[in-house]
Chains A and B, each alone.
Chain A
Amino acid sequence: MHIAYHVSLIGIVVFPGSNCDRDIYHVLKNIMHVDVEFIWHKREDLNCYYDAIVIPGGFAYADRLRAGIIAAFSPVMQAVKRLARDGVPVIGICNGFQILVESGLLPGAFMRNDSLTFTCRWTMLRLNVNGSRTPFTLLLKKGTRLNIPVANQEGKYYVDDDTLKEMEKNEQIVFKYEDNPNGSLYDIAGVCNAEGNVLGMMPHPERACEMILAPSSSTNLSTNTGYGDGILIFRSLIEYLQGKQKVSI
């Protein structure tokens, strides 16, 4: 995995209070060897620059009012919305997922965890749709299990019955927990938009990319022993961007 893919540039949106931005940067730059840039929240024009956008976890604006709501109104999110409409892959992780929901890019809402406390632990997810449904799951088969940690306080996903049915029909419920850590409705861990290019997930794949960071009892489903399950999300994205590159050339 020492090939550098200079064909793509991935942007990581940084809000005041983002705190997983550098972790995502590490994974994309040092493990995936792709070009990556931080995007400060005040930028309004992102057009033509970025092939994919990551909205990292953390506590944008300290989760004031409620998680993700202030960030959703920042200039950069208006630009991200335009990119999303144009089909650019966008992934929001943890707080990034909350921001995507508050921005209206993804359906649903978040509530406090059932435990009422912050919860940090490794969970087992299952891919609930076909891998081709989103750019971030391309290399996975439906039913694939992924061992990835969560760390959140308002991580309990909720959506009304009608929307849930609609989402199920549209194959928008991308990941489900096998061991629901926060009381999310229908064990939902990640969802995508109707088009499939915008994915939000509560667990942190960037924390599960290197086996050295996995707890000793975790199971590794990746064939390459040095990598954890989370890497498959990022590899899928790169694979998708490369495929697109070939088609467009």
Chain B
Amino acid sequence: MSLTEEELRYLNDALAREPTSLELSMVSAEWSEHCSYKSSRPYLKMFSTEGKHVLIGPGYDAGVLDIGDGMLLTVHIESHNHPSAVEPYGGAATGIGGVIRDILSMGSRPIALLDALRFGDIRNDNHARWLFRNVVRGIADYGNCIGVPTIAGEVEFDDSFTNYCLVDVACIGIARKDRLVMLKGDVDDLVIIAGNRTGRDGIHGASFASRTFEGEEEDRSAVQIPDPFMGKLLIDATMECVEKGCVKAIKDLGGGGLACCLSETADRLGKGMFINLDALHLREEMSVEEMMISESQERMLYIVEPSRFEEFKVIMDKYEIPFSVLGRLTDDAHLHIYYGGNEIARIKASIVANAPVIKRKAVKPPYIEYIASNSRKPEMPEYDDIADILLRLLSNPSIASKEWVYRQYDHEVGLRTVVKPGYADAAVLRLNLDYAGGEGSSYRYIAVKVDGNSKHCYIDPYNGSMGCFSEACRNVACVGAEPIAMVDHLQFGSPEDEHVFWTFVESVRGLADYGRYMKIPCVGGKVSFYNETKNGAIKPSPLVCVVGLVNDGDDGKVMKGHASRDGDILMVIGLTKDEMGGSEYYEYIHSILNADVPKVDLAYDKSTRDAVLALIRAGLVTSVHDCSKGGLAVAIAEMCIASGRGARVELSNVPHTCTRLDDLLFSESHSRFLLSISRDDLDAVNRLLSDHPVDRAVIGEFNGNSLSLEYKGSGINISMDSMLDSYSSIARLMGHGG
């Protein structure tokens, strides 16, 4: 039993009696950190959640954005870290299943997935490779099978994830404004569970996720079994129900199983429920406790008016989806659970659904001071060594091409993927309502990207987290989209550790400050604590998934990919600063920790992004690339690789405040963009930029078969072939096959 003594006392007081054993199981599941947010809830209020496009903010199964023309976008993010660390294939696959059902719960059709993955060092660690390979396979097998494309993502490798992994998946859905399903229900409406039979998998999954990961074999029973086929049937059947309008509320059965789903739904509706567990369709014989907390996958709850039940039944029967009418809504706000004719629980839904908040201590961890007082710089490399350093950075798995990953994902199904993985910094989707308008109808184009940076967030959680938000916004701007909303996923160690908790609070502060300044609302998110192994907590790993809108009407341009041509000019916008803390150059190449993590200057960050968006809208750029992990040198090399042509760059032209050449090359300062521009457009670009308060400079041009980086007379030259070879390191490491 995972309740603390204090919580138990609180429960007894609320009930004015001892709980029954079933009530205790239900409350323990729902009051787990995973389901209740009992440590994080007060801090999440810091986020600004309102904006022009926001229809529904945090608190529902998914955030809802109004993108015009009667079209709604839903977005949600989930992680499945503990399960994936024990059983990577099933853990990752069920993570996809779970986030899809959150999108379904709003009556929206899931149309795209993003994944953000974190592992240990795959170069030297067989176990990390095993996790990586099977997590990707799990996502591929589930997403491909249900016909939802996986269109974007990111992967980071760091020793703090050794023997562990972070598996985050975000899902985008689309709904008709007149069909959005909000939680509604009246007395005597039917409570129906449909989908897979309930079995013994995923017992105590929520509690498993609410304690430190020990990697024990017995934890495998807490991992659920994926069934993408049933997942696909549920998508099709639910969308038919929504189209017919025969369901009043939809809710996913996720962490905490029936206990959480029933109590949260009843609490939301302000209703009670009469539930008869004898009716539940089971896979095997189970105790009532197990029925209530099993996390068997691919199950949904529907609230259906009795007069619409026949329609609902016809749809479920068409898809041969088993379901049970479990009970009905009552007006007394209590959950009445019956089994074998006996009432075995009677508890107010609001008690179960609202765990008492735990006030955690937050204390700045000593390691941060330690890094600050021991910060140093590496010895300045010989000029000739820079080529080798750049190639090593390109082969660093955190930077190298992720083609090995996204090749395994169907990223085309649905006919919406305009910008595909590997072509630009964010994915772009084309949307209309079920293709209803057809040719010439107005499409909306949205961009999405998820970003994180555990190295920056470890050293400086406030600035690091803000930087992740800034980077995700830059990435959607690179394809021509204005950021309109974000969802976040906050992943940390144990909240009971005051040092860990401090990093959580700082991280929320960083994200909230950025969102408020930029007027980019947070419309949803998750918190995942207890990401710890025997070796301690993971590095703080907040993720930010940003949604951008390309056209708020008919105009707007999508940057489809890197289309630099021979003779195109390379321009940099933004200022490169001596901010080397957490950089791949310091950590991956030199194993040096430095406290000076890149900081976002909010006003400047907005100016550079606005400038780039103005250039894209004016049609004055042939490609745009964000500058992030690995710095300027890596970003230039990536543009060369993507466009298949070399470049000549004069580094002394780069706007900077660095004192060393290696800092200039590899600093990860924010708010920087690289652009390729046709020579004929240069005057127009300069004219346009004169209205924007940003640093900018022409630093080179594209041509030839090599990248040459020159600095006041000396220079290095790297062939395209060697860059491409280094950049393909992941495919080489992972090889072929399963």
Contacts and interface: CB of A to CB of B under 8 A. Distances in A.
A213 B418 contact: yes
Interface residues of A, number: 42
A52 to B, nearest CB: 20
Interface stretch (B225-233, B601-609, B652-660): B225-233
Contact of A59 (B229, B414, B435, B562): B229
B561 A215 contact: yes
B318 interface: yes
B147 interface: yes
> Which of B236, B415, B417, B437 has most A Cβ within 10 Å?
B415
A114 B737 CA distance: 8
Interface string B114-157: 00000000000000000000000100110011110000000000
A116 B408 CA distance: 10
Interface in B351-394: none
Contacts of A22: 414, 434-435
A20 B232 contact: no
B713 interface: no
A39 B411 CA distance: 26
Interface stretch (A25-33, A128-136, A160-168): A25-33
A242 interface: no
Interface in A59-113: 59, 61-64
A26 B140 CA distance: 25
B412 A40 contact: no
Which secondary structure characterizes the binding site on chain B? loop
A19 B413 contact: yes
B229 A204 contact: no
Contacts of B228: 59, 62
B320 interface: yes
A151 B144 contact: yes
A223 interface: no
Given A117-B140, A216-B561, A207 B412 contact: yes
A58 interface: yes
B438 A117 contact: no
A7 interface: no
Contacts of B562: 216
Which secondary structure characterizes the binding site on chain A? mixed
Given A16-B319, A20-B147, A212-B418, A120 B438 contact: no
Interface string B401-417: 00000111111111101
A206 interface: yes
B560 interface: yes
B137 A62 contact: no
Contacts of B140: 117-118
B519 interface: no
Contacts of A62: 145, 228-229, 232
Nearest to B738: A116
Given A25-B435, A216-B423, A16 B144 contact: no
A239 B228 CA distance: 39
Nearest to B437: A30
B415 A23 contact: yes
Contacts of A143: none
B145 A16 contact: no
Contacts of A16: 229, 232-233, 236, 319-320
Interface in A112-151: 114-121, 149, 151
B412 A151 contact: yes
A120 B422 CA distance: 12
B226 to A, nearest CB: 11
B563 interface: yes
Interface of B: 137, 140-141, 144-147, 228-229, 232-233, 236, 318-320, 406-415, 417-418, 420, 423, 430, 434-435, 437-439, 560-563, 736-738
8 contacts: A16-B229, A16-B233, A23-B413, A117-B736, A120-B411, A149-B412, A207-B413, A215-B560
Given A2-B439, A30-B435, A117-B140, 4 more contacts: A19-B147, A59-B144, A59-B145, A117-B737
